Structure 1
Amino acid sequence: MKASKTPPQNLEAEASVLGSMLLLPEQIPLIVGKLDQNDFYMTQNALVYSAMLHLIDKNIKIDLVTLKERLVSCNELDEAGGIKRLIELEEIVPHAQNLKEYVDIVHNYSIRRKMLYAAQITTDLAYDGSIPLDDVVDSAQREIEAVATRFDMINRGSGIDSKDHLMEEIYTEIKSDSTLDRSTGYIGIDYSLGGIKSSDMIVLAGRPSSGKAQPLDAKVLTPNGFVLMGSLKLNDYVLTPDGSKSKVIGIYEQGVKSVYELQFSDDSKSQCTEDHLWLTTTRNERRSRLRKDGKVRTLKEIKNTLIRQDGQAGNHQIPWTKPVEFKSQKEILPIEPYLLGMFLGDGRYDRTVKIWNEEKDLQDKIISKLHIDDTATITEPNIIRIERKKRNNQKSEFAKSLDELGLSIPGSAYKFIPSIYLYASPFDRLELLRGLVDSDGYVNNGALVEYSTISEMLKDDISFLIRSLGGKVTVTEKPKPRYTYKGDMKIGKLAYRIFFSFQNNTVPVSSKKHLSRWKGLKRIAGHAIKSVRYIGKKICRCIQIEDHRGLYLTDDFIPTHNTTLALNIANNMAIAKHRVVIFTLETSKSEIYKTFLSMNGGAFRFKFNPFWKDKWNSLNSEYTNKAHEFCKNLDVQIRDEKELYRNPRKIRNYLLQQDRKRKIGLVIIDQFTLMNHDHNQNRKDLNMEMSSNIIQNMCKDLEIPVILLHQLNRSVEKDVRYPNMSDLRECGALEQDADAIIFLSKVIKANESGGRMFDEKGKDRICSIAKSKLGAVESYSMQLATDTMTFIADNEQEEMIKLKMEEMKGTLSKWE
């Protein structure tokens, strides 16, 4: 591509689109959504179109007066060519009735420019030998896919005239049995889900397997962040309550011990054994000040003196921790921390970066902290618009950094603090917090700060940030607001209220407004221990550190999972001539194939167990050989390259290539908790949420159904109950993203003492449809034939479902 060539464009068509929208506003609904302002080559035209879109969003009729007013309010009238240019737009349109044709021309030229841009990026990456080839290929695929997706939009139509056609499709689908085109092989599940549809994302979660060893799952804070207790080694460093680090000089395995959970006044929790050490002060010690620094006590001592003399809990308090010094980050923070805090608090990033704030001292502070190549203008009394100084159609450095940090996702609900900021220096973390509070916080009673957000990720990140700086934090939930929009009652989003405080020497605000209200704490109170409860037995270990008190910072964590039912569904679909792809991130490829052999030939599982080697020699292997011949004809691919396919984008790229060869009927990912998105690797919950979002979009874009295997948390075992939505570990996004959620559990029965227990030896299982697009929430009985690894549905239940389906067909025939 020669640099001297002018990019493809048609300025007459661009002007005709704008002029036609002015002359015939009634035609606008036919083209809205087919163009965005980036489709216009001339900056003047892009600004005018952007202003028109704003008026459409506000339901304001477009004419010269309203359009001029909008451009003036954005301080963009002169840049858009002035009022003279707006008048010219009405005059140069050949035929306003040809608006749709003008739109097609502008769109097509825009696609050509985007293709050239994608090709240039790919060329630059290919020449850069420092970039891994995998990343070059991934980037090239993403660029081309983005252009192809945009191109498809012009061919989809507005949807205005297609409702009759859609209804005809739906009626035909119901009348025929096309809903079961992808049958699971289980009538009950098919009835509740309507079969597996293309683009479905289905979560299949099982109760943790009994008898499976648990990891040493306590979280211990180190200079590199939290790690599992079980992963600590001699000479590693852990962090102590005073913020310093201390070397691990001894590790002693303790076997299975009773474990207790402590809950503190800010609702934070920690797990430990009775001999774990805590530095606490009692109520009498705090009153008499005889031991103002407290005493190191075992949990057993604390448990026996938990209640104060007045009968209230909170006798013991642990002291404030000092700001934690994490290991120095090698990466340079791409955005100044205070500036990032202001953006997270009240900023938005679409075409440009905008921050809302009307306080003059903060506006000046924001501008002073911008990158040298960026500039800011106050477009309205409270809108700070950040752009590149040199107008060359390039993004601002601020916007580029937001892209790199993964913060370009629109919507306040998806905001988060990147991990490199969570583990930055105490100074940078405090500056980030000040930016958040100055932008959208409130100082109450001189020392208590309140901050609200609708982002669950940001709520967790801010809590981590405050605690890492030695603060005390409590989080509550606001009830979802109700409001009326265009005559309809709407329900708003759940919001989180974060209340926190610091000791006198830590000031979490910097604006003149907030500093005028800030007084700091007069009395320093620690974290009160509200309760101590027994939670069960776990494998434990003890560590010895150099610190003479033996104190270090800790938390908790637990994982595990199940797969057999998913493989049964995969086998049934493969037999029905659907192509199946299985990504196994935990079990080996050979183990998965053994299960397929067992399901298809009566090849008993013990044949593959070395313990049964003698029996294998005495049995005829004919059944297994036949099963192998049968399985060879099934179109099933098993991928077990764990390190490669932990990244959901790698899975997407692989499926994109394979789907072009032959349409994929089903994808199984085993298991979801082992997936790891590229960014924010230190935040497992955020990784899982981003992974869920990528997989959901993959299902929709490629029209491929996916079954995600997921684990339930341990509360199901502990409480001896059947699972529900809240048991999906660590990732609330799954509940929202999934089209269907299925739980598999062993049957609960009475024990000898009259209590409840899971029937560990029995073969009966309960398959519960907890979520379905059809709204059919049902439970079905199944039996697991362990010799062939096959789930068998209850015959009586299936017969009843067949009768229901016949009744539905009879009702449908009356409509004809």
Structure 2
Amino acid sequence: MAKVCEERFPKGSYKNQMNDGFFMDDLLKAQIDILLKNIVNDWDFTIIISGSGEVRVGKCQPKGSKVLMADGKFKNIEDIKIGDKVISPIIDENGNITKTEIATVKDISNYISPKNYTLYTRTKKSNKKIKLYECSENHLIPITKVKYLHSNKISRGFKMIHENIMACELAKMKISKLNNLGICTYQGCKIESFGNEDCEIEPYTLGVYLGDGSFMDTIKFRKNYKGNKVINVKSYYKYINSKKIFVNSHTRTISPPNDKGGYCKVRHLNITSADKDIIKEISKYYPIMSIHNKKGTTAITYNFSINGKLAKQLIKYGLNGKNSDKKFIPESAKLSSIEYRKRLLAGLIDTDGYVNKKNHLSITTKSKKLAEDILFIVHSLGGNGYIKNIKKKCKGKVFDYFEISFHLGELQNKLPQKNKFKINRLKEGKIKPNKVGFILEEIGEKEVYGISLDNQSQLYITDNFCITHNSVLAQQIGAYW
């Protein structure tokens, strides 16, 4: 008989004793209540058997909650079918996520839950709490907490242990108790592979391009331009097969105007950087055509052929013509191997990343989609983070930006970065990044769905890359007090 939950008897001869208990929906409870009218003494509680002997147990989540599938894509829990494959983390007794495996959905359930909860991050300031996910009141939440080894407060020592506790029980605990026991749930999980081939774009180059690159078409107006105009070109440097070559000043003929008369279309692909080590790494994979100094800065603009390998790959994945607020990480790059994702994130940190003196990492971008994609990469590497809206001034104007603050734990200083300043600042993280404190807030009645997996851990990844417990379908005999 499947063990579903552990609760203490509230009264009678068995008060405060532990016993196996089972969830009952409203219909089953009403039927048992009729029989209980004939029970007089506390020892008369006996065993009551449900009519069909099969009860769907409500460890569920509301409609719209996400589940991370085996292919790396999130799917609404109500759309999951029997036989679907999901990613299931494995957590040891000490609360360490050791690996992931692919589990199969063997059953599903659906009912109306009268009471549900939202999990939020546990912070000192209530206005800074971040939503994690929603669940039914009897949903099992995987947690890690402190277990003291001795009763002596001075020398008792402690260790971290892993447990699964119902949401309604955790909701009864005061914040002080949650803090004292160090109760945290899990967010972020290192996934070695999603079973896909790597994206064609070299990952470090992709990260640098998303941070400091541009591939745009611009329209320039030339007054009274009739075509075939000869202009003087100043001397400059260009790269052929990664070799720097000086080009003397010369003349060239501009092509005829397009259908718009004096307006001419100009396409350019470039990366602007002041760090030569970054460009040296990129030039191993993509030849640089020419370089130009950027006015007013120490940065240099490196131009690439618009008919070259990099341009063709960017066009294939839809990254050409995207302004800074429209950039994104291609789906195939997000779901590439763990080594690919490491190099991709390294490129982003080397360009748009910031490392403060406290070893905290952040990346700032104008693109909301890119911010969400970066956070997915962080979570899939076993890190943890969040996105917040900020305002920044640029060229005298104030714009909205998205800042991704994150921590990578043991990977904090192990990414293949090239920016020496950031490398020297980064240190290995001492904290476990995938542990997050939380509180629960009641949200009332909702339609909920549950899934049952065929593996031992019974865990899956839900909204915001949080790890949670699946539902159970069991043949039961329910003891009701």
TM-score scaled by length of structure 1: 0.37
**Alpha carbons of 1:246 and 1:235: their partners in 2 closer, same or farther (altered >3 Å)?**
same
Per-residue deviation at 1:483? 6.1
Q: Check if 1:383 corresponds to 2:300.
A: yes
* Counterpart position of 1:438: 350
* Counterpart position of 1:500: 406
**Alpha carbons of 1:428 and 1:268: their partners in 2 closer, same or farther (altered >3 Å)?**
farther
Which of 101, 111, 119 is 1:244 aligned to? 101
Per-residue deviation at 1:325? 4.4
* 1:450 alignment partner, SS class: strand
Q: Check if 1:549 corresponds to 2:451.
A: no
Which residue identity does 1:510 align to in structure 2? Q
Mapped to 1, the partners of 2:394 and 2:206 lie a distance apart of 31
* Counterpart position of 1:294: 162
Q: Is the 8 A contact 1:317 1:528 kept in 2?
A: yes
Q: Check if 1:223 corresponds to 2:70.
A: yes
Mapped to 2, the partners of 1:323 and 1:432 lie a distance apart of 15
Mapped to 1, the partners of 2:364 and 2:313 lie a distance apart of 25
**More contact order relative to length (CA 8 Å, sep ≥ 6):** 2
Per-residue deviation at 1:270? 0.6
* Counterpart position of 2:191: 324
Mapped to 1, the partners of 2:324 and 2:182 lie a distance apart of 40
Q: Check if 1:399 corresponds to 2:316.
A: no
Mapped to 2, the partners of 1:361 and 1:376 lie a distance apart of 17
* 1:479 alignment partner, SS class: strand
* Counterpart position of 1:599: none
Per-residue deviation at 1:369? 2.4
* Counterpart position of 2:215: 349
Q: Structure 2, unaligned stretches of length 5 or more?
A: 1-60, 90-98, 123-128, 217-266, 465-481
* 2:115 alignment partner, SS class: strand
Q: For 1:556-571, list aligned pairs within 5 A.
A: none
Which of 390, 393, 398 is 1:478 aligned to? 390
Mapped to 2, the partners of 1:326 and 1:270 lie a distance apart of 25
* Counterpart position of 2:329: 417
Which residue identity does 1:354 align to in structure 2? N
Q: Is the 8 A contact 2:142 2:163 kept in 1?
A: yes
Mapped to 2, the partners of 1:403 and 1:289 lie a distance apart of 58
Q: Is the 8 A contact 2:171 2:441 kept in 1?
A: no
* Counterpart position of 1:524: 432
CA shift digits 1:46-66 (9 cap, x unpaired): xxxxxxxxxxxxxxxxxxxxx
TM-score scaled by length of structure 2: 0.61
Q: Is the 8 A contact 1:244 1:325 kept in 2?
A: no
Q: For 1:640-719, list aligned pairs within 5 A.
A: none
Q: Is the 8 A contact 2:408 2:433 kept in 1?
A: no
Mapped to 2, the partners of 1:417 and 1:243 lie a distance apart of 24
**Alpha carbons of 1:339 and 1:483: their partners in 2 closer, same or farther (altered >3 Å)?**
closer
Which of 284, 304, 315 is 2:172 aligned to? 304
Per-residue deviation at 1:469? 1.6
**Alpha carbons of 1:482 and 1:450: their partners in 2 closer, same or farther (altered >3 Å)?**
closer
CA shift digits 1:584-621 (9 cap, x unpaired): xxxxxxxxxxxxxxxxxxxxxxxxxxxxxxxxxxxxxx
Mapped to 1, the partners of 2:451 and 2:159 lie a distance apart of 27
CA shift digits 1:553-584 (9 cap, x unpaired): 1128xxxxxxxxxxxxxxxxxxxxxxxxxxxx
**Alpha carbons of 1:312 and 1:244: their partners in 2 closer, same or farther (altered >3 Å)?**
same
Which residue identity does 2:360 align to in structure 1? L
Mapped to 1, the partners of 2:359 and 2:439 lie a distance apart of 26
Per-residue deviation at 1:314? 9.1
* Counterpart position of 2:417: 510
Mapped to 1, the partners of 2:81 and 2:329 lie a distance apart of 30
Mapped to 2, the partners of 1:238 and 1:249 lie a distance apart of 11
Q: Is the 8 A contact 2:325 2:367 kept in 1?
A: yes
* 1:233 alignment partner, SS class: coil
Per-residue deviation at 1:342? 0.2
Per-residue deviation at 1:283? 5.2
Greater Cα shift, 395-404 or 341-350? 395-404
Which residue identity does 2:169 align to in structure 1? E
Q: Is the 8 A contact 1:476 1:496 kept in 2?
A: yes
- Structure having the higher helix fraction is 1
Q: Is the 8 A contact 2:146 2:160 kept in 1?
A: no
Per-residue deviation at 1:412? 0.9
Q: For 1:277-288, list aligned pairs within 5 A.
A: 277-282=140-145
* 1:445 alignment partner, SS class: coil
* Counterpart position of 1:272: 135
Mapped to 2, the partners of 1:386 and 1:401 lie a distance apart of 16
Per-residue deviation at 1:406? 1.8
* Structure whose CA Rg is larger: 1
* 1:427 alignment partner, SS class: helix
Per-residue deviation at 1:525? 5.4
CA shift digits 1:454-508 (9 cap, x unpaired): 1112111111221122111122322353864xxxxxx421112221111214534
Q: Structure 1, unaligned stretches of length 5 or more?
A: 1-213, 389-393, 485-490, 557-816
**Alpha carbons of 1:282 and 1:251: their partners in 2 closer, same or farther (altered >3 Å)?**
same
Which residue identity does 1:343 align to in structure 2? Y
**Alpha carbons of 1:270 and 1:339: their partners in 2 closer, same or farther (altered >3 Å)?**
same
User: What RMSD in Å do the two structures reach over aligned CA positions?
Assistant: 3.0
Mapped to 1, the partners of 2:371 and 2:403 lie a distance apart of 8
Per-residue deviation at 1:452? 1.0
Q: Is the 8 A contact 1:414 1:455 kept in 2?
A: yes
**Alpha carbons of 1:357 and 1:539: their partners in 2 closer, same or farther (altered >3 Å)?**
same
